[in-house]
Amino acid sequence: MKDILMSKLLSYRGTREILYSLIKRKNLDKNNFLLKESTRRKNLSIFEFEKLSENIPNGYFHPNGDIQLYGFYHILLQYINKRRLPSNIAQEHGFIFSSFVHKHFTSAEKILTFSDYREKFITNQYPLKKAIKIGPYIHYAQNILNEKDHKNLKEKLGKTLLVFPFHSIDGVLSDFDTKEFLEIIEKKRKGFDSVIVCLYFKDIQLGRADEYIAKGYKVTTAGHINDACFLNRLKSIIELSDYIISNCVGSYIAYGLYLNKRVELFRQKTILRDENGEESNENKLAMVEIGKHWDEYDLIQDVLFAILNGDVLTNENNNYLNNLFGFDYIQTSEELYHSLIT
């Protein structure tokens, strides 16, 4: 009875707004700490990976939690030059390479995503909601490095190979033959002055940076998942590179291609396994649902491995990637604001 009553109350926008405002006020200290810590880390070197990967507790800036991940909530506010976002919007926090759609968008009326590819799955799952296609999220982030600092660092790095290894998340760990992957990097690094390995914060916490440091590579990270400057830092890291390689598919492909970087994928056996003691972790539970779409993931992965093989992209390939990632759906500040409020 209580759940039914609460569901009824939340069906009214005014009731939702009041409730969300109260919850946000209750979490004011957490929100302030998150912003203060993110601002402090903004001044760290992108190579201070251990400090950048330290945990930041969740804040509560918006009722639809995914929009807070990777700093996207704060990026949107800055981009549209507003102090708050409507409570009825949600966002897929990264590109999903299958028909899987999260089930926690029930309270949203609009869902931000990348492209036509994702829109059709969202509208199938939520026929009464509006999917808003905005292309690669990296467009909306400002670089964390200013022009002078970027230029100085780029001069020191020279021609740079950027590596994105298959990564873990809280509750689910990644496994692959690191020795084999290091051999791939060594073969590809010829002609480059620097190699930067961008690790996810979880893998740094697991101590996985050491193997790359031992090879003389520079290690970086975009930061913790709750870092308000995550996408800003990631944009600067990608902008510093000349060529990107990986042994997996991920949102970084859309971001790298959008920022005019060459991306090459190397096929390698990769495995995901549960993290001990995290059996009830929400990421682990989500992976069970995602696993039901694994055949679709494998299919699109095969296509991307075939296209991003080091060769110059054909017009046909460019059209496929454009349709997949929604490069044509980038919005101006005014357009995005209109999309969010109407």
As given in the structure block, the two tokens for residue 214 are 């031992």
Q: Note whether 75 and 141 are within 8 A (CB).
A: yes
Same domain, 239 and 205: yes
Same domain, 182 and 266: yes
Same domain, 129 and 6: yes
Q: What is the mean pLDDT of residues 146-175?
A: 95
Q: Is the pLDDT of residue 15 over 60?
A: yes
Going by C-alpha positions, the residue among 64, 152, 138, 130 that lies closest to residue 102 is 64
From 166-175, 235-244, 283-292, 295-304, the region with the lowest mean pLDDT: 283-292
Same domain, 112 and 180: no
Q: Note whether 121 and 129 are within 8 A (CB).
A: no
Task: Determine the pLDDT at residue 277.
Answer: 59
Residue with tokens 């791939």: 184
- At 114-159, the pLDDT tens digits run 999 999 999 999 999 999 999 999 999 999 999 999 999 999 999 9
Q: Note whether 301 and 249 are within 8 A (CB).
A: yes
The DSSP H or E segment spanning 296 is: helix 294-307
Same domain, 112 and 237: no
Q: What is the mean pLDDT of residues 79-107?
A: 91
Q: Is the pLDDT of residue 79 over 90?
A: yes
Domain-embedded: residue 307: yes
Residue with tokens 């001990």: 276
The DSSP H or E segment spanning 176 is: strand 172-176
Same domain, 257 and 231: yes
Phi then psi for residue 249, to 5 deg, are -100, 150
Task: Quote the domain boundaries for residue 109.
Answer: 2-140+329-341
Task: Determine the pLDDT at residue 172.
Answer: 86
**3-state class (DSSP) for residue 109:** coil
Same domain, 136 and 221: no
Within 13 A of 312's CA, how many CA atoms are on the CB side? Answer: 1
Relative to beta strand 89-91, strand 110-113 is parallel
Same domain, 52 and 118: yes
Same domain, 115 and 258: no
Q: What is the mean pLDDT of residues 44-72?
A: 94
Domain-embedded: residue 324: no
- Using 50, 70 and 90 to split pLDDT, how confident is the model at 11? low
320, with CB counted inside 10 A (0-12, 13-18, 19+), is middle
1-16: b or e for each residue (b if 16 or more CB lie within 10 Å)?
A: eeeeeeeeeeeeeeeb
Q: Is the pLDDT of residue 8 over 60?
A: no
Domain-embedded: residue 50: yes
Same domain, 163 and 296: yes
Task: Determine the pLDDT at residue 171.
Answer: 83
Task: Determine the pLDDT at residue 272.
Answer: 82
- At 243-275, the pLDDT tens digits run 999 999 999 999 999 999 999 999 999 988 888
Q: Count the Cβ atoms, other than its own, within 10 Å of residue 61.
A: 21
| DSSP tag of 139 | G
Task: Determine the pLDDT at residue 25.
Answer: 80
Within 13 A of 271's CA, how many CA atoms are on the CB side? Answer: 7
Domain-embedded: residue 84: yes
Q: For the chain, what is the domain count?
A: 2
Same domain, 278 and 336: no
Give every CB contact of residue 289 below 8 A, 6+ residues apart in sequence.
100, 103
- At 195-234, the pLDDT tens digits run 999 999 999 999 999 999 999 999 999 999 999 999 999 9
pTM of the model: 0.92
Q: Count the Cβ atoms, other than its own, within 10 Å of residue 247.
A: 22
Same domain, 166 and 39: no
Q: What is the mean pLDDT of the chain?
A: 91
Residue with tokens 């296209």: 307
